[in-house]
Each structure stands twice: as structure tokens, then as C-alpha cells.
Structure 1
Amino acid sequence: MNDKLKYIKEDETIDDLQLKNLNLIQKKDGFKFGIDAVLLSDFACIKKKHKVMDLCTGTGIIPFLIYGKYEPESVCGLEIQEDMVDMAKRSVKLNLLEGKVSFLNEDLKNIEFLKKLEKFDVVTVNPPYKLNNAGIINPNDKLAIARHEILCNLEDVISASRVLLKDNGRLFMIHRPERLADIFTLMRKYKIEPKRVKMIHPKMGKAPNIVLVEGQRDGGSYLKWEAPLYVYDDNGKYTKEIDSIYWRA
């Protein structure tokens, strides 16, 4: 572990992803990845020949989980916050993944920049969930940026995905069920056809609080609604399905 400490700053920590010895550098008191990233990386259908782009990547949790799980040809993460990208790039060196996982410090609303990039087989995104219309929010607050549509909104994310995807490429998104109508409407506006939906419930008998959506660039009209996933059982423990997703089963 001491050898790994050369990659981090005083206010940072190294977290073991418990997947193929991969680690992630994060702020000790900053935004930490949660179950959303794990669920999205499990939901995405990725092959070894694929090139993957992760939008709103933060410190890079989804690219590292995707590489650990699928070992695609390459995974790139795009993030507007420079300090997040700095941590992600150091995580690449820490994990000896140069040439396999990379990160770009750029605004996904910069469409001209996106058009200059190669096209991707898969785009994944865990975007800010909350509408930026409630209360006073500090635009420099890292947690607020991660949770509220301050620097980008849902339409920005889907518009960027349209530009980045190859013909028939796939978009995998995690969001909140109350935004599902917006997600479907915007996907169709940008000709990304919704193909698969999975609802995540805290436990049996509770309403879903997370939704996973797959879309296909220029895909035909056919929507598959998958069986729901429950996070906790009646005893407050992770269900077998969640244990499997977390590689514990």
C-alpha cells in the first residue's frame, strides 16, 4: 500500500473496488461513488471489441468497473471538472491501465469537440439527477454539481450521446423513475430509440427509486421491460441479486 501512496494527495484516499485488484482515488470528504455506478456497469452490454465512452465520469468509477468487468478495447471518461479528471488519470497510472482507460477534461456541451472524437460502440452515463430549479445552489459546490443539473442537463447528455455513438450504437443510462417521460421524449428527439428498461426498488413493496434505460442510435421501435431488481430483503440485507452484482455471490 505504501507504494500506492505516491499517487494520492493528503486529502485523498484509495478505495479498493474489489474487482480484479482495481483501485480508485477519491476525495476523503468529497463525492463518493455508490450503488448507481455498480448497477449501471452491470446493466451495460459491452463486448471485448467495443470502444466505450462514459459521460459525467467524475473520478472515473464507471470506466474502471467496465474495464474490470468486460475488458473492452478501450474506455474513455469525459468530465468537465478538472480536479476530478486529475484524480481519474492518477487512478489509471495506479492501476497500470495506460492505453486501455483514459480521461478527457471537457464540457459535453462542446459539440464541435465531440464531433472530432472517434465514434463509440457504447456510451454510458450517470448524469446529475435533480432539476436545477429548487433553492439556492452554490455553482462551485462539487456535491451540488454531481447531483443537480448545474453544468449540464438531461438534453445535453442525450444530445452528446447522439454525436458520439456509432450507427446502431447503444446508450446506457441510470436515472430516476420520475424523469422517465423526459428520457423517452429526449431520446426520440435525438433518434436514440428506447430499447430496454429496468426498475430498481429499495425493497419489496416500495416504489422504485432508480431506473436503468438502454437506447439504440437509429434503432427500431421495440421496448423491453425487464423484471425489477430489489436492493434489500425483508431483513435489511442485500438481496442475492445485488450480492451477485457486487461479485460477492
Structure 2
Amino acid sequence: MEIELKDDERLDYLVDPQLKIIQSPSVFSFSLDAVLLSRFAYVPIQKGNIIDLCAGNGAVGLLLSQRSKAHVTMVEIQKRLSDMAQRSISLNGLEEQMKVVNGNIIDMPELLGHGRFDTVTCNPPYFRAVNKRDYNENEHLAIARHEIYCTLEDVISVSSQLLKQGGKAAFVHRPNRLMDILALMRKYRIEPKRLQLVYPKSGEEANLLLVEGMKDGKPDLHLLPPLTVYKENGEYTSELKKVFYGQ
């Protein structure tokens, strides 16, 4: 299928050579975080509704569509990024399974419905919005990385509102926000169930965390084995390859 590419956009494979995504170095490109979140999150296999918040150019949602036949809604506030995500949906022939909503996640419970979704995923902005000199000069990247239009509390509150009773929410974030994340999950009735730390190399500090909780679940947190990304020679570890490719 012919898809128009704009400015410096390019087509890349999204882990699976059958899945393609539109990227732009000056606007947004997916990262390891998105792939790990898409592999970590619970998804209903046959039917249901999944929503990916702060969707960027659509990497998480596209990867989730390969694991589930459920309908996938992606929410992205930046019009340029939501347009890239929509064209990637069309490129992969997934229009019947997926859609993109261009808007602020804060508005989604009223717009899309409370208690409607089986799964919520989110790769949110990692950095608090302190002042403008802390932002990347590129507006697209600044919005993606800093809590300009939504805070961590907004993300977790909205996720709770969107989830069905017993539904699951999965987040990827930085380890220095772990206590904030767990406290907010409990505050908004998403009981933490699974937690995994991700390490760039053996012997280094963790630089990512993956956490999943259940709406109104019972306390029962499982700490999963740590995931190390790179071997000393710079190649992916066997456990990372297993997560990525099922090897």
C-alpha cells in the first residue's frame, strides 16, 4: 500500500519484519521502552478493548495488535504524531482493529467511556515539567518527554477511570519514580501485581521499570526476574532476545 511520507519521515520495521512504522528523527522515533511495554502488558487474546495512552507514533499499539484480536485505541495529543500513527495503521492494513484519537488523555474517560477497557498501557513522559529551559528545544520531543500536558498522576487516574473492574494497566517508567507510581496506583485503585526492573548491562543500575496492576485487585505483588539488555560486547542478551523475538 502506498503511504505518503512527509519531510524527514522514513519507514522502519517494528521488530517483526511484517510490521512497519513511520518514524521521524526530528519528530519521534520509538525506543526500547515501547517494545518492552508491549511485550510485558497483559492483553485479552480473542476479544475486548485495549487502549494505549501517550501513544506517540503508535509503536506500542501496533505491537499489541500482533498479540491480540482485541480492538486497540491509541491516544496521542500531538497532531503530527497521531497522523503518523494513523498512516502506520493504514500501511499495515489494521484499520478494522485499530484507531487513533488525537487529544489529551485527561479527556478520554468522558470521550470514550468509563470502565470500558480490558487493558490500558502507557509509556508516559518521564520528566517533571519544571521550567522551559529544561525542555528539549524540539517541541515534539519536549512534549513526549516532559509532563507538560499530563502528569504521572493524570496518567494513573485516567487509566483507572478507563479500566473495567478487574482490568489491567501496564506502565513503563524510570526507577526513580517507583514509589510515586506505586503510591498513585493504590490511590486510584490499581493494585500493583507485577514489577520488573530493566538494566542496560550487568553491574549497572536499572534505568527502566515495568509495572502492571489490576483495577480493584487484591494485594499480591510479584517481583519478576531482572531483565538485562546488553552483553559486554554490546549484543542483546539471550533474555532480551526472548522478550523481543521469542527466541
Query: Under TM normalisation by the shorter chain, which class is it?
Result: over 0.9
SS at match of 2:245: coil
Q: Which amino acid aligns with 2:69?
A: P
Percent identity over paired residues: 44
Instruction: Give the RMSD, CA atoms, in angstroms.
Output: 1.9
User: 2:72 is matched with which residue?
Assistant: 75
- The answer to whether the 8 Å contact 1:109/1:160 transfers is yes
Deviations 1:179-213 (A, max 9, x none): 01000111111111111100001111111110000
How far apart in 1 are the matches of 2:57 and 2:233? 33
Q: How many residues align?
A: 245
How far apart in 1 are the matches of 2:153 and 2:182? 11
Deviations 1:154-183 (A, max 9, x none): 000001101110001000000011101000
Deviation at 1:135, TM superposition (A): 5.7
Q: What TM-score do you get using the length of structure 1 for normalisation?
A: 0.92
Q: What TM-score do you get using the length of structure 2 for normalisation?
A: 0.93
Deviation at 1:18, TM superposition (A): 3.7
* Aligned with 1:44 (options 19, 41, 57): 41
How far apart in 1 are the matches of 2:246 and 2:222? 28
Gaps of 5+ in 1: none
Gaps of 5+ in 2: none
- The answer to whether the 8 Å contact 2:115/2:165 transfers is no
* Aligned with 1:201 (options 199, 215, 220): 199
1:213 maps to 2:211:
yes
How far apart in 2 are the matches of 1:85 and 1:61? 11
Change (3 A) 1:221 1:172: same
- The answer to whether the 8 Å contact 2:28/2:81 transfers is no
Q: Superposed, which structure 2 residues align to 1:83-232 within 5 Å?
A: 83-110=80-107, 113-114=110-111, 116=113, 119-133=116-130, 136=133, 137=135, 141-232=139-230
How far apart in 2 are the matches of 1:199 and 1:138? 26
Greater CA drift, 34-43 or 229-238 = 229-238
Tell me which stretches of 4 or more aligned residues in structure 1 moved more than 6 Å.
none
Deviation at 1:12, TM superposition (A): 1.3
Change (3 A) 1:81 1:139: farther
User: 2:58 is matched with which residue?
Assistant: 60
How far apart in 1 are the matches of 2:183 and 2:214? 14
How far apart in 2 are the matches of 1:222 and 1:18? 32
- The answer to whether the 8 Å contact 1:46/1:72 transfers is no
